[in-house]
Structure 1
Amino acid sequence: MPTKETKALATWLKTQLGENRFENDYAVLSHYLSLQGTPSAEFYANILRKNNFDLSSLPSKNSYKKSFSHYNPKRNTSFTFIDLFAGIGGFRLAMQRNGGECVFTSEWDESAQKTYSTNYAEYPFGDITKINPTEIPDFDILTGGFPCQPFSSIGKREGFEHKTQGTLFFYIAKIIKEKRPKAFLLENVPGLVSHNEGKTLEIILDVLRKELKYDVSIKVLNSADFGVPQERKRLYFVGFRNDLGIDSFEFPKENEKKVGIGQFVETDAEGPSISEHLQKSYIFKKDDGHPEIIDKDSDFPVKTLCASYHKIQRITGTFVRGGKTGLRLLTEQECKAIMGFPPDFVIPVSRTQMYHQFGNSVAVPVVQKISEQIVNALGGDE
């Protein structure tokens, strides 16, 4: 069920579905409402009809979006995609900007669901491990930043169901096997390259290339090379279905000049401040160059924003000169700039959850550039 904090959208959906509904009923209805007039809408309409739901009682797509969507980029759609491990919708922003239409979203974290639904007027379906691929409408491109978990040792080659069982990648593979999308874009930490002496990556590529029959390219990209004021390296997988004949893919070229954080630092922002006691006893206890301190004159990208930023870690943290105590944490708007989110993106959760969500997100401009290359490569197939 939606969290207690969720307001207008949840209240309205409850009036339509009643109180005694499961989480996925809200997902089905909100996806249908957002997709009215598209082939994917009929997929969800059939589910609602089976539950004896009167579709004629619902508002139009435009009316629904106007009432409940805070951030809905307008763009003529040329392809469909699904958003797995969606978080707060970084992949979605990037794909929509390149003409994509999201037809399915999955995210298990309730706080992230709240931010996602507030901005897109769609409740994500929950735990991917409980979703049958047949319950997902057809789509062109699969996207997702999947968590890296331990894989079984290579051992006997008995197929991905043996090698990846118990990992979240297993469920991505199941969906790809069932739905056969034209392409996929996956993201992970660069440490995956060396994880388990490279065996984990070997298994993933073996499954994608040999068993699922996709031409796959991988590359570690730094967000700072794509106009994002943050040093953030991530490993990206791009795959095309073999029968499309796209056996080579060029990742986007890096910018020559990096963008500094200074232009995004807010002037006269008072908080959240770091206490003088904490500064003396911990932050500046050593003269070792840590932590990173920024201000309006800082002409360099900041360190990687971590999901645990709120814990004020002196080695990995970046803090701002200013505020009531002379040193403060990043503001919401500064976090948006660091991750490439637009200023009008709504964050309806606590400050701690805000840091956690941005720290777990993708850098939007990087994914936007990669997805643009994917769309161009698909070209006449769209």
Structure 2
Amino acid sequence: MKQVHLRVDDELYNELNAYSVMMEQTMQDCVREAVAYYVTDMRRKQREVKDRQFTFIDLFAGIGGMRIAFERAGGYCVYSNEWNKYSQQTYFANFGEQPEGDITQVPASSIPNHDILVAGFPCQPFSIAGVSKKNSLGRATGFEDKTQGTLFFDVCRILKEKRPKAFMLENVKNLCSHDKGRTFKVILESLEELDYSVFYAVLDGQNYVPQHRERILIVGFDRKKYGKNMQFDFDLTPKYPKPVMRDILDESVDEKYTLSDKLWTYLQNYAAKHKAAGNGFGYGIAPLDGVSRTISARYYKDGSEILIEQEGKNPRRLTPRECARLQGFPDDFKIPVSDTQAYKQFGNSVVVPLMENVAKLIVKKLEEIDQTEEKELQRMVI
């Protein structure tokens, strides 16, 4: 990273110092964020929405995988939010915008109007004690009661305030069984209560990238605008030919990605111990003509879930660029952070082409119902 030295007067210095203490950040990080926000605001004011079919917001944005997907589907991002400072760096490097931090402190009214809300929200358990008590007393409970204190609540309050035409939420496959199914039940009930028609499916990214990666996608359409008879299918067209691991690998890779003798011996012993105990835990050598296991945010630790075999030496882990390709990011996507942070970021991200294809289905459905609505209005006028 480049360095900039600046002078400020005592009053401004004291304000910055107090703010850095309050935010539990270094003064350097506070100043960097302030400059980034200034540049972001300046660029946003300079731009105009041109040749775009719809607007969207990018919540829990990570490094912008969802943004790429929805921009490819014809969208224009009017707002982004991500709290992690390293992810903010990568996002800024690629989109020239600094996502706003800590969504819990953002008033829903301050977020721009948009057509589609997009969010890969974290999965958290919901406290149902208060809800159960209200139910026993015959009192109605709203999403404020059921979801308060979780980040999903922030999605709900923004949906309630801004009423976008549609939304798409992404989460891990285990969301369905999380907390014995209670979490998913509360999510669906809350979205229905906000008067959205809700559809969901567990989809695997291996139809678009050489990685077995199952995620649940939840899509909703505004019933106040489109009525209750909405139909939506996750009718996707897989990529052909199906991508395989060798498609994403570099021909020449730095030796630093090769496992040390100590780590390789440890992984082999660890796998043997669990195999003897009847467990399936252990490292995974990715087949060059097949698909890999799911990459996770822990990949930076040892890379054990996805290793590449090498002739005459120990296996190696994927490079950050190969991880980017494994998730379907374009090769011109900038990686301005350390390898450790890059592994965490791509492990937490989405399969971009899968999200792009679902985004296009949502846009197609919105176009169909908007055109039908327009024709009906014209017929009534005539």
TM-score, with length taken from structure 1: 0.80
Shift, 1:78, TM fit: 1.2
Answering whether residue 209 of structure 2 is matched by residue 228 of structure 1, we say: yes
The sequence identity of aligned pairs, in percent, is 41
Instruction: For 1:145-224, list aligned pairs within 5 A.
Output: 145-153=120-128, 154-155=131-132, 156=134, 157-209=140-192, 211-224=193-206
Shift, 1:308, TM fit: 0.6
Shift in alpha-carbon separation, 1:285–1:197, aligned structure 2, 3 A: closer
Write out per-residue CA displacement over residues 23-59 of structure 1, whole angstroms, 9 at most, x where no aligned residue. 47843651451353537xxxxxxxxxxxxxxxxxxxx
For 2:177 and 2:155, the matched residues in 1 are separated by 21
Answering whether residue 40 of structure 2 is matched by residue 30 of structure 1, we say: yes
Residue 84 (structure 1) aligned to one of 52, 55, 59: 59
For 1:124 and 1:141, the matched residues in 2 are separated by 17
In our comparison, the structure showing a higher alpha carbon Rg is 2
Shift in alpha-carbon separation, 1:347–1:11, aligned structure 2, 3 A: farther
User: CA-atom RMSD, angstroms?
Assistant: 2.7
Write out per-residue CA displacement over residues 216-235 of structure 1, whole angstroms, 9 at most, x where no aligned residue. 1010000012x111100000
Contact 2:173/2:214 (CA < 8 Å) preserved in 1? yes
Instruction: Name the counterpart of 2:376.
Output: none
Deviates more, 1:240-249 or 1:211-220: 240-249
Write out per-residue CA displacement over residues 298-324 of structure 1, whole angstroms, 9 at most, x where no aligned residue. 11111100001011164xx11112399
Instruction: For 1:232-311, list aligned pairs within 5 A.
Output: 232-242=213-223, 243-245=225-227, 247-253=230-236, 255=238, 258-270=242-254, 271-283=256-268, 286=271, 290-294=282-286, 298-311=288-301
For 2:269 and 2:251, the matched residues in 1 are separated by 23
Answering whether residue 87 of structure 2 is matched by residue 112 of structure 1, we say: yes
For 1:101 and 1:323, the matched residues in 2 are separated by 47
Instruction: For 1:312-331, list aligned pairs within 5 A.
Output: 312=302, 314=304, 317-322=305-310, 325-331=313-319
Write out per-residue CA displacement over residues 259-295 of structure 1, whole angstroms, 9 at most, x where no aligned residue. 2111222223133221012212333554558422236
Residue 334 (structure 2) aligned to one of 346, 356, 374: 346
TM-score, with length taken from structure 2: 0.80
Instruction: Name the counterpart of 1:376.
Output: 364
Q: Read off the aligned partner of 1:328 and give its amino acid letter.
A: R
The gaps in structure 1 that reach 5 residues or longer are 40-74
Shift in alpha-carbon separation, 1:11–1:180, aligned structure 2, 3 A: farther
Contact 1:139/1:181 (CA < 8 Å) preserved in 2? yes
Between structures 1 and 2, the one with greater helix share: 2
Shift in alpha-carbon separation, 1:322–1:78, aligned structure 2, 3 A: same
Write out per-residue CA displacement over residues 90-128 of structure 1, whole angstroms, 9 at most, x where no aligned residue. 000000001100000000000000000011000000010
Shift, 1:133, TM fit: 0.7
Shift, 1:334, TM fit: 1.1
Partner-residue secondary structure (3-state), 1:293? coil
For 1:24 and 1:131, the matched residues in 2 are separated by 17
Contact 2:211/2:291 (CA < 8 Å) preserved in 1? yes
Contact 1:81/1:101 (CA < 8 Å) preserved in 2? yes
Contact 2:62/2:91 (CA < 8 Å) preserved in 1? yes
Instruction: Name the counterpart of 1:68.
Output: none
Contact 1:84/1:143 (CA < 8 Å) preserved in 2? yes
